[in-house]
Structure 1
Amino acid sequence: MWPWGHLAVGYLCYSLWCRYRNRPPSALGAVTVAVGTQFPDLIDKPLAWTFALLPTGRSLTHSVFTAGLLLAALWVGARRYDKRLPLGAFAIGYLSHLAMDTVKPVMNGNFGDTSFLLWPVLSQPAYSTPKSFLAHFAEFEPTPFVLLQFALAGVALVVWILDGAPGFDEVRHLWPTTSRERVGER
């Protein structure tokens, strides 16, 4: 799945979770779910494709073992230091990423291609695309699955706007908007 598909599914799940808990999506939660939806690829793909430290772009952080250990450690750390962190939002983003990476193999009946979820216990599936970012973008095709991801991104964008665009102002303020602000004049 492409980054926008992961982001769309993660945000839609987060928005539904907030509605279930009768509270609006928060800015910090929206940003955190966005990070969670990209987290596995931000770790695995560079470590596999750029540095050759992992066997594939779906291994270490795409494993349910790593996900379980990391989420448990974050939960324990937050409880121990009495910090209220948006761990639920991160977990929704992270776990939705893992789930969505299994959709295409399952739809195609290639259940063995979901073995990355149990890495390192199970061996990795063979991938036909070379291990590089450029190779993946070069093989980009507007397949029905890719078009579905664009549609989901559109739906998620509408839901995010209806939710009040949580996180937009916080992220927007990270970048200067005028030439005076860029040179430090405020």
Structure 2
Amino acid sequence: MYSRLVYRKPPDGIAVLAIVLGTQLPDLVDKPLAWTFHVLPSGRSLAHSVFAAVLASVVVWAYCRRRGRSDLGAAFAIGYVSHLVADGYTYLFTGEYVYLSYLGWPLLPPPPFGDEGTFLTHLQNITLSPGFALQLVMAVVVYVVWIEDGAPGRAAFGAVLERIRSSS
């Protein structure tokens, strides 16, 4: 939406990769460090903190700006912040503010989720709740828009993978 509103065109492939990285980074950092390596107190702590979001977004935006692509920094930041919003909106609407404490970690304690288990535990506990159904509908809408836009990012992702393979 940002690309369409500001630039009046769909995002290019690299911008799509930037937003995908931004949306996934909090979980790519926190979940393994908490659930697998037990280094963090919760799967929503370090990278789910507003402090980490601001720091990462400023660093990425400044780097992208120096490269003449501040739009990529904006895409990353929008993705990162949207992840935090998506993780917390139900707690906000239900008044369960204690579960939003991850936004202020480490100044606030981690959310009282209890034993969060492992990746497998979370996969086994997926149910078709209204919230999960809404997420599925949103994913389908995003996928359809992405296809209509010509699947930007597919070629760029392939190029990144090829670079990784060739450097190994």
Q: TM-score range by the shorter chain?
A: 0.7 to 0.9
1:52 counterpart = 2:38: yes
**Match 1:70 to one of 33, 42, 56:** 56
Deviation at 1:108, TM superposition (A): 2.5
Deviation at 1:173, TM superposition (A): 5.8
User: 1:132 is matched by which residue type in structure 2?
Assistant: T
Deviation at 1:75, TM superposition (A): 3.0
1:19 counterpart = 2:1: no
Deviations, residues 85-110 of structure 1 (Å, cap 9, x unaligned): 41111111111001111112123221
Matches within 5 A, 1:29-178: 29-79=15-65, 82-85=66-69, 86-128=72-114, 130-172=116-158
- Cα separation, 2, equivalents of 1:124 and 1:118: 9
Residues 62 and 116 in structure 1, CA contact (< 8 A), matched pair in contact too: yes
| Structure 2: gaps spanning 5 or more residues | 163-168
> Secondary structure at 1:131's aligned position in 2?
coil
> Secondary structure at 1:101's aligned position in 2?
helix
Percent sequence identity over matched residues?
A: 41
> Secondary structure at 2:53's aligned position in 1?
helix
Residues 62 and 73 in structure 2, CA contact (< 8 A), matched pair in contact too: no
- Cα separation, 1, equivalents of 2:62 and 2:17: 22
- Cα separation, 2, equivalents of 1:75 and 1:152: 27
- Cα separation, 2, equivalents of 1:39 and 1:129: 22
- In the other structure, the counterpart of 1:28 is 14
Higher normalized contact order (CA 8 Å, seq sep 6+, divided by chain length): 1
Deviations, residues 41-97 of structure 1 (Å, cap 9, x unaligned): 000011111111111000001000111122222333445xx3134111111111100
* Count of aligned pairs: 160
> Secondary structure at 2:147's aligned position in 1?
helix
Deviations, residues 91-144 of structure 1 (Å, cap 9, x unaligned): 111110011111121232212211100001111121145331111111111111
* Deviates further, 134-143 or 164-173: 164-173
Residues 12 and 153 in structure 2, CA contact (< 8 A), matched pair in contact too: yes
Deviation at 1:148, TM superposition (A): 0.6
Deviation at 1:24, TM superposition (A): 2.5
TM-score, structure 2 normalization: 0.86
Residues 48 and 131 in structure 1, CA contact (< 8 A), matched pair in contact too: no
TM-score, structure 1 normalization: 0.78
Residues 98 and 112 in structure 2, CA contact (< 8 A), matched pair in contact too: no
| Structure 1: gaps spanning 5 or more residues | 1-15, 177-186
Deviation at 1:30, TM superposition (A): 0.7
Compare CA radii of gyration and give the structure with the larger one.
Answer: 1
Structure with greater helix percent: 2
